[in-house]
Amino acid sequence: MNALQVELGERSYPIYIDSNIYNDLSYFQKHIRGNKVLVVCDSNTAQHYLQATLAMLSDYQCQSITLSAGESQKTLDTVSQIYDALMQYKFDRNCTLIALGGGVVGDICGFAAATFQRGVTFIQVPTTLLAQVDSSVGGKTGVNHPLGKNMIGAFHQPACVIADMSTLRSLPPRELKAGLAEVIKYGLIDDAEFYHWLNDNLQDLLALDTDKLAYTVTRCCGNKARIVAADERESGQRALLNLGHTFGHAIETAMGYGNWLHGEAIAAGMCMAARFSANSGFLAEEIVDSVVNTFKSVGLPTEPPADMTSEQFMDLMYRDKKVRDNVLTLVLMNDVGGAFLSSTFDTELLRTTLFQTLNK
Amino acid sequence: MNALQVELGERSYPIYIDSNIYNDLSYFQKHIRGNKVLVVCDSNTAQHYLQATLAMLSDYQCQSITLSAGESQKTLDTVSQIYDALMQYKFDRNCTLIALGGGVVGDICGFAAATFQRGVTFIQVPTTLLAQVDSSVGGKTGVNHPLGKNMIGAFHQPACVIADMSTLRSLPPRELKAGLAEVIKYGLIDDAEFYHWLNDNLQDLLALDTDKLAYTVTRCCGNKARIVAADERESGQRALLNLGHTFGHAIETAMGYGNWLHGEAIAAGMCMAARFSANSGFLAEEIVDSVVNTFKSVGLPTEPPADMTSEQFMDLMYRDKKVRDNVLTLVLMNDVGGAFLSSTFDTELLRTTLFQTLNK
């Protein structure tokens, strides 16, 4: 079993990474607060994992709520359903929420935990690769606004993260590929060695090689834990984790939440960030090609949707959370493993690059 | 001008207390972050203060939103209206919200600020006595759930509080009296000297004596700032500020939010807490009489609504945020200025006391 620690003072917590642990009480027990537990899952994870989870928690006053699946459900209305359940079951502050599912369930459940009675304990049990390597770690919680992704939210760290490799076996191939987009991101940001390892091992990961998956999740979480520990509230370097995300969020918002998976949108977004980095003179053309080929070999999109326009991109990107006083900070690259923040890039060149990519 | 400081490390902030300062830019300027400002008010404060506030902020990109007035508006839907405005006007993280109004506006606006883009700056400009002495200070923000008051929320400290005595002149007498309930509360908790001063000066306060109002707000805020600085997240002594509130919240929830004003409900609640303290052997009967007479002299209710039942009280009180694993912590009194927390009181005696009070 691999265990990592996210070092955040009194808010520090462990990430457990292994197989067949999602229903092992010994991992949960010391992190559950109080006697009342609400398991939050969606229609997919309910089918596979809810029964065993409830059986594991039979010594607690345990309730569950099953949300409809998909990014389109990541709304304030869905959070309200969780509040309703908590109130109906008379949960008090001394309770624990368990997010059993992918990134959407984790983000919604985490935000409910952040805001119910001004904050209660929650545990992340990510069941998708994307949630295991990224969204379950770091305490970003929240929901979407019709005009922008993740616009409503709070920082609220989980009590622990339990990443079970065996849950990845129930994952549809499209979701697995989407998760690999976030995995590749860690290589591109500051871990070139891992990027090269990935290029040699992507097909084994797609074939669900358990050891290689565990290695991958451990490496990604290690990278993320280090970055989050240094900058919990994203006042600086944590923003590097958003490589490809400003482009990607624009795609997700424009196409309607859930039509492009988050991983698909940021794969195209990272290719666009690489292309713009090259056009700006920061990145060699052959690295753009390598990046694009890596995403292609996984079967991920490397171009934005053909029906978006450059003006639509500009408009949506300038609503991003990384805009300050109308100045956008983008994550650009000068090498594989060499991501950096730039707020002094050439805005007109960005517009031109988008126009060239989209021909409109 | 009186200025107090709430000492919370890097989240410390000043409370300015004076007359004719709500539209004086010099108080706001150093606390506004960014260039975009949203003024949140309700239909009452819009009428009296919005125009001058917008004029003061003419150098900023300033927008405003006017909410319907009243506690019944303190819902997640109203918070959503603020998110919609922020998104529509393309506000980024580097912005400031100004809560111009009473406790309801402050709580809603504060929660929107706590959760928009995971937290932005906000300034409290409380225009009711209740908000000036209590709700604008301390960082509790949030909204009601149909089944319980303030159940959804976050801790989020303002950048400063600007309490302008002249705004109290526009306050309906009923609201002024309701504010005095929270004022008297500070005397009962741990400031007997202030309680006695109040008994000599309540009629002057009702007649809007500006100097005495400023003294009162300063004394209350000083008490609150001290308690909040010692226990920001209410893990202990801060709960004393809830004297009368568990009873009072039950009244507000049962009667429909806004039908009893918060101050009215907690006035009756403090009388009930005093009565139960006496029945439990903690408090002398003559002090119960004194407390009841003080509230009566202001014209505040000292009994719960006749159409509530003791069982309804018990049910609602056990949904309170101060319940842990089905154990309720009440604020009781052993003297004027001698409030204390008790979770070992006699539950059956509480039930009997409520039954005797309500005859059902």
* Catalytic (active site) residue A238: yes
Are residues B25 and B171 in contact, defined by beta-carbon separation less than 8 angstroms? no
* Residues B134 and B13 grouped into a single domain: yes
Instruction: Tell me if B118 and A154 make a contact (CB, 8 A cut-off).
Output: yes
What pLDDT, on a 0 to 100 scale, did the predictor assign at position A163? 97
* Catalytic (active site) residue A242: yes
Amino acid B42 reads D
What pLDDT, on a 0 to 100 scale, did the predictor assign at position A91? 94
* Residues B147 and B20 grouped into a single domain: yes
List CB contacts of B327: < 8 A, sequence separation 6 or more: B343
- Of A145, A157, A129, give the one whose Cα is nearest residue A14: A157
Half-sphere exposure of A77 (CA within 13 A, CB side): 7
What pLDDT, on a 0 to 100 scale, did the predictor assign at position B257? 85
Instruction: Tell me if A152 and B324 make a contact (CB, 8 A cut-off).
Output: no
User: Could you read off the pLDDT of A162-205 as tens digits, one per residue?
Assistant: 999 999 999 999 999 999 999 999 999 999 999 999 999 999 99
Are residues B210 and B132 in contact, defined by beta-carbon separation less than 8 angstroms? no
Q: Is B27 helix (H, G, I), strand (E, B) or coil?
A: helix
* Residues A111 and A205 grouped into a single domain: no
Average pLDDT, chain B: 95
Give the nearest chain B residue to A96 (CA atoms). B325
Instruction: Tell me if B115 and A154 make a contact (CB, 8 A cut-off).
Output: yes
* Residues B217 and B349 grouped into a single domain: yes
Helices A210-230 and A192-206, interaxial angle, to 10°?
A: 140
Task: CATH number of the domain at B64, please.
Answer: 3.40.50.1970
What pLDDT, on a 0 to 100 scale, did the predictor assign at position A322? 80
> Using beta carbons and an 8 Å cutoff, which residues of B are at the interface with A?
34-36, 76, 80, 83-84, 87-88, 90, 92-94, 114-119, 140, 142, 145-148, 151-155, 318-319, 321, 323-326
For residues A74 and A258, what is the distance between their CA atoms, to the nearest angstrom? 10
Identify the band that residue B1 occupies on the pLDDT scale cut at 50, 70 and 90.
confident
User: Could you read off the pLDDT of B217-261 as tens digits, one per residue?
Assistant: 999 999 999 999 999 988 889 999 999 999 999 999 999 988 999
Which ranges of chain A does DSSP label H, i.e. alpha helix? 25-28, 43-45, 51-56, 76-88, 103-115, 129-130, 173-190, 192-206, 210-230, 245-255, 262-279, 285-298, 310-317, 347-358
> Using beta carbons and an 8 Å cutoff, which residues of A are at the interface with B?
34-36, 76, 80, 83-84, 87-88, 90, 92-94, 114-119, 140, 142, 145-148, 151-155, 318-319, 321, 323-326
- Beta strand A61-67 with A36-42: parallel, antiparallel or unpaired? parallel
- ipTM value: 0.91
For residues B145 and B333, what is the distance between their CA atoms, to the nearest angstrom? 29
* N-terminal to C-terminal alpha carbon distance within chain B: 51
Chain B environment of A148 (Cβ under 8 Å) = 87
Are residues A316 and A310 in contact, defined by beta-carbon separation less than 8 angstroms? no
Are residues A130 and A262 in contact, defined by beta-carbon separation less than 8 angstroms? yes
List CB contacts of A331: < 8 A, sequence separation 6 or more: A239, A240, A242, A243, A244, A245, A246, A273, A339, A340, A341, A342
Angstroms from B251 CA to nearest CA on chain A:
17
* Residues A179 and A164 grouped into a single domain: no
Q: Is A301 helix (H, G, I), strand (E, B) or coil?
A: coil
* Residues A270 and A248 grouped into a single domain: yes
For residues A74 and A107, what is the distance between their CA atoms, to the nearest angstrom? 8
From A114, A146, A170, the end of a domain falls on A170
Q: Is the pLDDT confidence value at B320 over 90?
A: no
For residues B327 and B333, what is the distance between their CA atoms, to the nearest angstrom? 19
* Residues A80 and A224 grouped into a single domain: no
pLDDT tens per residue across all 360 residues of chain A: 778 999 999 999 999 999 999 999 999 999 999 999 999 999 999 999 999 999 999 999 999 999 999 999 999 999 999 999 999 999 999 999 999 999 999 999 999 999 999 999 999 999 999 999 999 999 999 999 998 889 999 999 999 999 999 999 999 999 999 999 999 999 999 999 999 999 999 999 999 999 999 999 999 999 999 999 999 988 889 999 999 999 999 999 999 988 999 999 999 999 999 999 999 999 999 999 999 999 999 999 999 999 999 999 999 999 888 888 889 999 999 999 999 999 999 999 999 999 999 987
Are residues B161 and B13 in contact, defined by beta-carbon separation less than 8 angstroms? yes
* Catalytic (active site) residue A219: no
- Beta strand B161-164 with B330-335: parallel, antiparallel or unpaired? unpaired
From A170, A189, A223, the end of a domain falls on A170
- Is the entire prediction scored with pTM above 0.90? yes
What pLDDT, on a 0 to 100 scale, did the predictor assign at position B309? 95
Task: CATH number of the domain at B304, please.
Answer: 1.20.1090.10
For residues B328 and B341, what is the distance between their CA atoms, to the nearest angstrom? 10
Amino acid A258 reads G
From B118, B145, B170, the end of a domain falls on B170
Two structure tokens written together for B202? 């309540």
* Residues A156 and A253 grouped into a single domain: no
* Residues A83 and A196 grouped into a single domain: no
Are residues B57 and B80 in contact, defined by beta-carbon separation less than 8 angstroms? no
Instruction: Give chain B's domain count.
Output: 2
- Of A100, B148, A160, A60, give the one whose Cα is nearest residue A108: A100
Strand partners for B65: B40
Burial status of residue A236 (CB atoms within 10 A of its CB: 0-12, 13-18, 19 or more): exposed
User: Could you read off the pLDDT of A101-117 as tens digits, one per residue?
Assistant: 999 999 999 999 999 99
Instruction: Tell me if B154 and A90 make a contact (CB, 8 A cut-off).
Output: no
Q: What is the DSSP string of A65-108?
A: EEEPPSGGG-SHHHHHHHHHHHHHTT--SSEEEEEEESHHHHHH
Two structure tokens written together for B176? 């002024």
Calculate mean pLDDT across residues B28-56.
Answer: 97
Q: Is B90 helix (H, G, I), strand (E, B) or coil?
A: coil
Q: Is the pLDDT confidence value at B360 over 80?
A: no
Per residue, what are the HEC states of A227-239?
HHHHCCCCCCHHH
What pLDDT, on a 0 to 100 scale, did the predictor assign at position A117? 95
* Residues B335 and B227 grouped into a single domain: yes
* Residues B101 and B63 grouped into a single domain: yes
Instruction: Tell me if A92 and B323 make a contact (CB, 8 A cut-off).
Output: yes
Q: Which of A80, A88, A324 sits opposite B76 (nearest CB)?
A: A80
Q: Is A161 helix (H, G, I), strand (E, B) or coil?
A: strand
Residue span of the structural domain in which A233 resides: 173-358
Half-sphere exposure of B52 (CA within 13 A, CB side): 12
What pLDDT, on a 0 to 100 scale, did the predictor assign at position A201? 98
* Residues B334 and B209 grouped into a single domain: yes
Burial status of residue B44 (CB atoms within 10 A of its CB: 0-12, 13-18, 19 or more): buried
Two structure tokens written together for A263? 């991983």
Q: Say how many C-beta atoms besides its own lie within 10 A of residue A63's C-beta.
A: 18
What pLDDT, on a 0 to 100 scale, did the predictor assign at position B321? 81
